[in-house]
Amino acid sequence: MSVLVLLEQRGALKACAHEAAMVAGTLARAAGAPLYGVYIGKSLEEASSLAGFGMQKVFAYEHDSLGHFCGEIYTSIVNELAKELGSTVIVGSASALGKEWCASVAARLDVELVQDCLEVWWNNGLMARKPVYAGKVLAEVRVINTPAMVSMRPNVVKVERDASPAPEVEKRGMPSSTPRVVVKDVALAPAGTVELTEAKIVVSGGRGLGGPEHWPVLQALCDALGAALGASRAAVDAGWIHHSHQVGQTGKVVSPDLYIACGISGAIQHQAGMRPAKIIVGINKDPQANIFNVCDYGIVGDLFEIVPLLAEEIRKVCA
Ligand SMILES: Cc1cc2nc3c(=O)[nH]c(=O)nc-3n(C[C@H](O)[C@H](O)[C@H](O)COP(=O)(O)OP(=O)(O)OC[C@H]3O[C@@H](n4cnc5c(N)ncnc54)[C@H](O)[C@@H]3O)c2cc1C
């Protein structure tokens, strides 16, 4: 019996990799099982950042051509390693990449997978809590069979390390099988853009923005805060911004520390994507807007006056 954690990287290890390691470490301790990590990428430079999770060993598959996520190779590596280690539980992240990776590993290993968990624990077996019905209900799930997999929603786990040392690193190269797919390049979004589902701060705009020419008003606030830019479906449907920015039931679910909704009424379908945020701020000129029923701080007023003032003050504080 052992626990295996998938350590996501984008150049460096991602925050969600540490969150998954934290969860996997807690499970391993409770189950009395060893914890292993798997890293696939160009080079694992920061194994020391994996101290404090009780991780015995990281299997580092390092090669220039493993830098970008490729479902076929990444999946077959985990598949082989999980069999070799006899992994009982495999923990990944419910990031955009992680959801695909976990799903294909689970399919290949023919094991159960609970995606997008908020909490996972061990109670004579694997237990998980996850949102269902667009976040209206939290389901408590007992996984009956092992091996099994869980993926953790980014930003919900607080990383708290113990005194355990950094894991030993066992370097492994490129697997010998010839891949049918080679990812040659990944075109990143413009510099400074933060992935919505993993962002600590999200600033979203809705129909109240009035048109696509006004996104720079919100982008200036995003830049000041280091935030990701989100949108309501009304803004997306109007063609003002790409669907990849949509927050809500038919968009992305975000769980930042701070969510600022600008010119968004706060429809239930929008709430389904932003209710997990720790602090919600609503900026709306209609005092009766629904967003004020769910926000922690509400500002009644014109976003075109308030947002630039906010951005200016934040720039001053951060200068
Ligand atoms: C099946 C289904 C799935 C859906 N999925 C989603 C989803 O994933 N995400 C989503 O967002 N919606 C979704 N919707 C749509 C949702 O019901 C709402 O229609 C949508 O969220 C409204 O977007 P909005 O708040 O931007 O627009 P509106 O509801 O039109 O609100 C605009 C707000 O801007 C305010 N405003 C206007 N001008 C200003 C100003 N200058 N300053 C400040 N405030 C201003 C107004 O007072 C108003 O409250 C879904 C609907 C259905 C039926």
Whether residue 62 is predicted with pLDDT greater than 70 in this model: the reply is: yes
Out of 242, 269, 293, 294, mutate this one to test ligand 1's pocket (max ligand atoms within 8 Å of CB): namely 269
Q: Are 260 and 202 within 8 A, CB to CB?
A: yes
* Same fold: 2-172 with 196-318: yes
* Coil vs helix vs strand at 314: helix
Q: Which residues pair with 128 in a beta bridge?
A: 120, 141
End-to-end Cα distance, the chain: 51
The pLDDT value recorded for residue 310 is 97
Ligand 1, atom nearest to 232 Cα: 11
Residue 187 has a pLDDT of 82
Give residue-wise pLDDT tens across range 257-272.
999 999 999 999 999 9
Interval 8-22 mean pLDDT? 95
Ligand 1 shell residues, CB under 6 Å: 206-208, 232-235, 246-251, 263-265, 267, 269-270, 273, 283-286, 289, 302-304
Banded pLDDT at 318 (limits 50, 70, 90): confident
Let me know: does 277 contact 156? Beta carbons within 8 Å: no
More confident position, 74 or 198: 74
Domain ranges of the chain: 2-172, 196-318
In angstroms, the CA 47 to CA 74 distance is: 19
Domain 2-172, classified CATH 3.30.70.360, yes or no: no
Whether the predicted pLDDT of 290 surpasses 70 = yes
- Tens of pLDDT along 93-113? 999 899 999 999 999 999 999
User: Alpha carbon 5 to chain centroid distance?
Assistant: 15
In DSSP notation, 170-230 reads EEE---SSPPS-------PPSTT---GGG-SEEEEE-GGG-SGGGHHHHHHHHHHHTPEEE
Task: Tell me the whole-structure pTM to 2 decimals.
Answer: 0.83
Give the pLDDT confidence score for residue 193 in this predicted structure.
66
Strand residues in the chain grouped as ranges (E):
2-7, 9-10, 12-13, 35-41, 55-62, 87-93, 112-117, 119-122, 126-132, 137-143, 148-152, 168-172, 201-205, 228-231, 258-262, 279-284, 297-300
Q: Give the integer Cα–Cα distance in Å for 311 and 220.
A: 7
Task: Kindly report, residue by residue over 161-205, the tens digit of the pLDDT.
Answer: 999 999 999 999 888 877 888 888 888 766 556 778 889 999 999
Give me the CATH topology for the region 196-318.
Answer: Rossmann fold (3.40.50)
Among 285, 295, 306, which is best to mutate for testing ligand 1, by the most ligand atoms less than 8 A from CB? 285
Distance CA 63, CA 66 (A): 5
What's the pLDDT band for 136 if we cut at 50, 70, 90?
A: confident
Q: Which atom of ligand 1 is nearest to the CA of 268?
A: 17
